[in-house]
């Protein structure tokens, strides 16, 4: 089939735009990530003298870095509409966020939509696959205190022990509030067939849009971070942190990401922007942690129910283009999530100015020494 001049021009424009966006992203990473690291190296004396202030500053820098990632999608027209409960109401409380996982773009989408949720982004901890440790953003996540979990049955028990130790060491000492995890343990396309076979074998519902979640990380987080007696069962010493008198984990935020036509955005699309502007839809349900059972069997059932509900939510969305109304509502209410372009430009400008400053400093010391 012959290609028209208009089609060729459109393809050429798309390729040029993708190339320019990629060049900008590379430059963005080359100035922003080293600047983040160097600022924190310079602030090490403050970490010794006033740890709380150090981690406050680190959190602000971390939020700005995530805002830069958000800007790549925002300026490509990849926006977000939110449904369900308003999570801003619990943004200052400790919460565990359970998210369905479809593609690498899920993380970028969360980085965007949580930007306007108060202090959440700078005080959050991420649980992500260990492979992300070796990406350009890995050094940032390591410093921030995120946890990289290795998948697979052979590593499962050890990883859960390491997660518990990590939470006890870093979660409250760095004043973390929200912890984000993907209980499915992998992308939908990779786990769906295995999950459906497991469901059939164990007489569980057949799920198409999500997979059955894994219990391990969720159970460790609840056991370690929930205050004693909060969900009906004593949490023991794991949850007792006297030094800051934390109330413990108070909420579970069940988060469901839906893409139009079930076509998720991956990180390549987020960076290059070759896909047409897309609205991603996110649905929230907030559960008090006291209503979440602590016993393994009951918790497994509760967690399965959340993902069965996700299946129903996504089925409704793909059929109608909207999520169903909350209980007590006659019509579902959506909220368009917005970011300030002026603020994003300011953050990007600061990153490049910081990169220039560090370059001048190194040049000065280089000439002084040599």
Cα(first)–Cα(last) distance of the chain, in Å? 63
pLDDT mean values, one per 10 residues, the chain (370 residues): 72 87 93 96 96 96 95 94 94 95 93 92 91 86 92 81 95 94 91 91 93 93 82 44 65 96 92 92 96 93 96 95 86 90 95 94 86
Closest CA to 112 of 270, 251, 260: 270
Neighbours of 11 (CB within 10 A): 12
DSSP string for 127-151: EEEGGGGGSTTHHHHHHHT-EEE--
Give the C-alpha separation, 255 to 101, whole Å.
10
Closest CA to 284 of 266, 257, 248, 319: 257
Residue 239 is classified by DSSP as G
Query: What sections of 93-211 are H helices per DSSP?
Result: 105-113, 138-144, 156-166, 188-201
pLDDT of residue 318: 95
Give the DSSP H/E element, type plus range, for residue 221: helix 216-225
pLDDT of residue 307: 96
Residue carrying the six token digits 């076509």: 263
173 contacts 276 by C-beta, under 8 angstroms: no
pLDDT of residue 239: 40
Query: 207 vs 5, 106, 203, 212, CA distance in Å?
Result: 45, 20, 12, 8
């Amino acid at each position: 089939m012959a290609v028209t001049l208009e089609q060729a021009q459109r393809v050429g424009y798309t390729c040029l735009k993708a190339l320019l966006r990629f060049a900008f992203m590379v430059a963005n990473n080359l100035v922003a990530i080293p600047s983040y690291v160097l600022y924190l190296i310079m602030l090490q004396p403050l970490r010794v003298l006033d740890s709380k202030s150090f981690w406050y500053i680190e959190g602000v820098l971390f939020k700005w870095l995530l805002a830069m990632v958000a800007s790549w999608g925002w300026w490509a027209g990849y926006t977000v509409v939110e449904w369900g409960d308003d999570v801003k109401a619990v943004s200052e409380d400790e919460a565990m966020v359970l998210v369905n996982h479809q593609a690498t773009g899920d993380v970028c989408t969360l980085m965007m939509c949580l930007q306007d949720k108060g202090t959440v982004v700078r005080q959050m901890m991420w649980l992500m696959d260990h492979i992300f440790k070796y990406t350009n953003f890995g050094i940032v996540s390591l410093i921030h205190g995120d946890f990289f979990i290795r998948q697979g049955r052979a590593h499962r028990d050890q990883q859960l022990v390491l997660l518990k130790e990590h939470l006890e060491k870093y979660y409250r000492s760095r004043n973390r509030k929200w912890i984000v995890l993907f209980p499915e343990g992998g992308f939908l396309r990779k786990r769906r067939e295995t999950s459906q076979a497991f469901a059939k074998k164990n007489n569980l519902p057949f799920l198409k849009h999500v997979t059955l979640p894994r219990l391990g990380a969720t159970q460790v987080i609840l056991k370690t971070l929930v205050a004693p007696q909060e969900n009906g069962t004593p949490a023991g010493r794991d949850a007792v942190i006297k030094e800051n008198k934390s109330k413990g984990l108070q909420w579970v935020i069940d988060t469901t990401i839906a893409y139009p036509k079930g076509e998720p955005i991956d990180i390549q699309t987020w960076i290059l922007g070759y896909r047409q502007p897309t609205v991603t839809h996110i649905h929230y349900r907030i559960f008090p942690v006291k209503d979440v059972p602590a016993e393994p069997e009951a918790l497994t059932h509760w967690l399965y129910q959340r993902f069965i509900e996700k299946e129903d939510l996504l089925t409704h969305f793909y059929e109608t283009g909207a999520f169903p109304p909350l209980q007590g509502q006659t019509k579902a209410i959506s909220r368009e999530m917005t970011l300030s372009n002026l603020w994003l430009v300011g953050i990007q400008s600061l990153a490049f100015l910081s990169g220039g400053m560090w370059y001048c400093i190194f040049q000065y010391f280089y000439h002084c020494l040599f």
